Amino acid sequence: MNGVIPLHKEIGLTSSDYVYKLRKILHTKKIGHTGTLDPLVDGVLPICVGQSTKLVNRLTGSPKEYEGEITLGVSTTTEDREGDVVDKIKLESPFKTEKLNETFKSMIGDLTQIPPMYSAVKVNGKKLYEYARAGLEVERPKREIHLYDFYLMGEPKFDSEKGLQTVKFHVRCSKGTYVRTLAVEFGSLLGVPSYMSELTRTQSAGFNLENTFKLSDIESMINEDDYSFLISIDEVLSDMQAHELTNEEWEINVQHGGFLELSQYDTKNNLRVTKNNITKAIYKYDPKDSMWKPDTMLLNNE
């Protein structure tokens, strides 16, 4: 069983919980997810099965899209609604839409982030949330990220009684972005405490939310002997240039991890090599030797 499941992760479970459950449902151990989603976040979570687990890093590295909500006027320990309140002010009036739009726009591009203490980033072999739960503060590594889009969705809402404003947003960002931290940084630019009050991942690794399957869907489909929830490796990599191998190239070169000499392809991009139109490997061009060399072997893909 090889392919990628565009899973709809629901609120309450971790990404690892779904891997554990799917191993039981599919009766296979070779399963991995393509990017952790916090328990309070729902949305697209591509799950790799069988040979496609070799693509986890490649799929994880692609940009992702989210829709969420920022609450202005309150900040929490975890930067989301799960944490304890650490700062709170009562907004006398809402921020104008023009000011909100300006702030969103100012954050587009390259940014440096410091991961939140309540995250799975490791420092000296321990996860940051382990330090946080022990009441310890440690120096956190900075990471460079990129925002391709970050903008307001719909009309902001203002609760005059509580002095809080909620703002819906859409963001398209690079791998490693902490959207919780974006919410905090957004409030900081406005001079108020803030936290991420809602978040849904709407796109990841080329899969959109409307094309995902819930765990209950998958269980029902399997009972009907329907495995259409499993997207083939060939379809997942369909945008990559491809070369159909000759018998000689397959038997002498690729099966043994050998190099290929092909001049008709774009050397700036990876090359998917296929046998009988089934992907068997991904090759990368080496300009030093003017040869295509194996990058990811998928010999057992069927």
- Known catalytic residues are 38
Q: How many Å apart are CA 258 and CA 252, to the nearest integer? A: 8
How many whole angstroms from its chain centre is CA 201? 8
Helix, strand, coil % (nearest 5) of the chain? 25, 35, 40
Tokens of 137: 């503060």
68 close to 184: Cβ distance less than 8 angstroms? no
Q: How many Å apart are CA 31 and CA 239, to the nearest integer? A: 23
Angle between helix 97-106 and helix 179-190 axes, rounded to 10 deg: 130
Sheet containing 271-275: order of strands: 242-244, 271-275, 278-286, 291-297
SS3 220: helix
128 close to 140: Cβ distance less than 8 angstroms? yes
Nearest to 173 by CA among 79, 78, 80, 62: 62
Cβ neighbours around 262 below 10 Å, total: 15
Spatial neighbors of 36 by CB under 8 A, at least 6 apart, are: 14, 15, 16, 120
Q: How many Å apart are CA 20 and CA 9, to the nearest integer? A: 13
